[in-house]
Structures are given as structure tokens and as C-alpha cells.
Amino acid sequence: MYQQTIITLVIMIIAYALSLWRLKSAEISMVISAIAGAIAAGLGFPTRILVEGTFTYLDLGLIFVTASIFINIYAEIGAINAMVITVVEKFYNKKWILFSLMVLIMLIPGALTGAGSVSIFVVGGIVAKIMQYMGISKARTAGFIYVTAMLSAAAPPINLWAMIMAAGANMPYVGFTYILLVPILIIAFFAIVYFGRGGVAQKKEEIISQIPKPPENLTGIRIALPLLTLIVLFLLSQYFAFSIPVLGLPLMFIICALVTMIVNPKKTTLQQYYLIVVNTLEQVFPLLATVISVGVLVNVMTATGVRGLVAITFITLQLFFVYATILIFGPFAQGSLSYGSAVIIGVPIIFLFNTMGINNTVVAAALSLIFPLGDCLPPSMIVGRVTIETVSFKGSYIEFLKSIAIPWLFMGGIALLMLIYANKLSFLVI
């Protein structure tokens, strides 16, 4: 039995590597690998398993899509540009406060959607320009955008790696807020100091003149109301769960999008809103395809026994081996499998730590800080490539990797310490 499962796993690895080499698509390669594994295991062409697999993470996909629609409509009314202009006007002479607020602006879209690339698409270009106006080189600007995008993807309330691991390990997605927020703030502070040092700023008027102007009647209430609506819905669902209907995150984001449309001071037509939705779907399609393909791969791995084999292998490992290698295998698994890394590596590691009585929530939070490190690594390099294109960085990709090396290691070190001292940090699990 073990021999058949091992052969299936080897065939899946070979099929994935060859497909990735020829097709340059991690998503299609995962599906091809799944089909090859099913055939090798004697299941034939697994039509039913493939179809069921596409729905494995349907809830995550809906969250991803609806959150992105909300944040793009919110950006369309000029709210984000208005916030950036206000920040520059009030804190131009207070450089470190300005950069801290730039981090906050970068964190919001990714935290609400679970994807750092959304932060780059929505506000990355504006933040990059402001940093360059403040005299920061393009290399360090690219590094700042990438690191804050990683942090935004890992930030609460939507952390897709933690969600996938929680689903795979049959644990609730609760208690992650503070155990994620504290290390993210520490890493963000380090990134601000590291990337923000030096530079000679342009005049404030020149900076503001190059940011798109929001509508004149876009008041503070109009800007704040959609975000306040989201916060209120979150709080109601958390503290009054038995007194209100179950809304779910996708419906919450749709409600916030409707609130944004209501407070929109511009005369935006339904046709224009339709185009925003279509463009949003095109924007998030690669990441949505990743979530779907991961579901297909996981379903086939479960049916063939490969998932159980991987889980048993990890559970029998020594903790020292996990500590010594996770900063290598974790990021490179993310670079190859994208969110599939959370299932293939993350879930078995959670099982391993669980057998030793170590807090699963802290472990999942730590792993969800390690996996984003791989978004700049081959073969996918999704966030890394988007960052370079957004900043218009003309140097080589190796130069970009050098610019993020120290913050990258710092973030990895923080996550590794969280793994090692998981139980001592359990007080942050609330």
C-alpha cells in the first residue's frame, strides 16, 4: 500500500515539474499533476474528484472576489487618493509618521482581501510615487512595496494561508487577530526604518500635484462610512453572533460595496460599475485560479492517499528538522505551489505540533508569515513581478531580491521564533 502511494507521489511530482517547466503556470501544473496522480493510483480520469475539488475552497474564493470588488469600488470614488493627499499634506514634514501611514494604506486592501497583489494594484503605484518624491531610490521603493504587500496578505482579518490551514486541520479560524497583528507591526516598523532612511524630498506642492484629485464633495463621512460599516459588521458577527443572522464575509463585503456606491459623490453609471466588477475579476483571476487548482490537487491527494502519506511523514519528523528547514521549504513551496503550500506543508506541520501539545493557532500564524516570503521566488514570483512592474524598477531581478534580503530574513526570523516559542505566545490568541 505504501509502495503504491509513494509511486503515485513521485509521478505527481514529476508531472508537476515537467508541466511547470513547459507551461510556466503553477495552476495548470497542479491540475495536470492531480490528473496524473489519479491515473497512477488506478482511479482513471477523475472527473467527479476534479469537479468536487474546484469547490473545496469556494468560500475563500468568494471572500477574495467580493473583497476585491469592494476595495476597487472604494478606490473608484476617490477615497484612497483623498486619504493619501491628506496624509501628505499633514505629515510631509514628519517623515517617519508619513511612512508609517503609507504602511497602513498598503495594509488595508490586502488585509481585507487576503492578497498582497491587490494592495499593489490599488495603492501600490501611488505609494511608490510618494516614496520616490520623498527621495527614496527605486530599489528601496520596490522593496518597501513588496514587504508591505506581504504583510498585508498575512494581516487580519483575511489571511488565506491561515484559513486554508484551519480548514485542512479542522480547526476554527478564530483567535488570529492579535497573534498576527503584533508581529506584523514589529516587521512593519523595521521595514519603515530600513527602507525610509536617507533621501532628499521634493516640495510638498509638487508631490500633491501628481496625485489624482478626488471629487470636491467627497467628505470625510463619505470616506469613513464604508470602512465603518465593515468594522461594525465584523464586531456584530463576533460579539452578537446569536442575535443576528449569519452574514458571512462575502455578504459583508457586498454590503460595504453597496454603501460605497450610495455615498459615491460622482455620477457613476451602472455600466461603469459593471466595468469595475469585470476589471476586478480579471485582476483577481490568477489568484482565484490558484485557489481552485489547490482545491483540485488537495482532493486528488486525499483520494489517492498521498495527503495522508505526507502528513504521516511530517508527523514523524523531529522538531529540530522543522525548525532548521522551514525557512527554506516554506518559501520555495509557496513559490511553486502558491496557496497550495498551506495544505501540502502547513497542515501536516500543524498536525505534528498538535501531537506535542503546542498551540495550533500560533503555529498557523507563524507559518502564514513564512509562506508569503516565497511570493518573490521562482517559478511563480507573482507579487515580486507585480511589484517591479508597478514601481517601474529597471534593475535586474537579483538586484530586487538583494533590496529585500534583510527585511525578508527579519520577517522569517520573527516567524521562526513564533514557531519555537508558540506556547509562550498563546496569550495573544484571544
Of 375, 351, 224, 205, the C-alpha closest to 290 is 375
pLDDT band at 29 (very low <50, low <70, confident <90, very high): confident
pLDDT band at 417 (very low <50, low <70, confident <90, very high): very high
Task: Please provide the distance, in angstroms rounded to a whole number, between the alpha carbons at the two ends of the chain.
Answer: 43
Q: What is the DSSP secondary-structure string of 120-165?
A: IIIIIHHHHHHHHHTT--HHHHHHHHHHHHHHHHHSSS--HHHHHH
pLDDT band at 415 (very low <50, low <70, confident <90, very high): very high
Structural domain tally of the chain? 1
Per-residue pLDDT tens digits for 61-83: 787 788 788 888 988 888 878 87
Tell me the Ramachandran region of residue 208: left when phi exceeds 0, alpha when psi lies from -120 to 50, beta otherwise.
alpha
pLDDT given at position 26: 75
User: Does the pLDDT of residue 1 top 60, yes or no?
Assistant: no
More confident call, 329 vs 154: 154
Per-residue pLDDT tens digits for 151-184: 999 998 888 899 889 888 888 888 888 999 999 9
Share of the chain above pLDDT 70, in %: 97
Between 208-212, 343-347, 393-397, the lowest mean confidence (pLDDT) is in: 208-212
Per-residue pLDDT tens digits for 107-139: 988 887 777 877 887 778 778 878 888 888 888
pLDDT band at 357 (very low <50, low <70, confident <90, very high): confident
Full residue range of the structural domain in which residue 168 is found = 5-428
DSSP character at residue 394: -
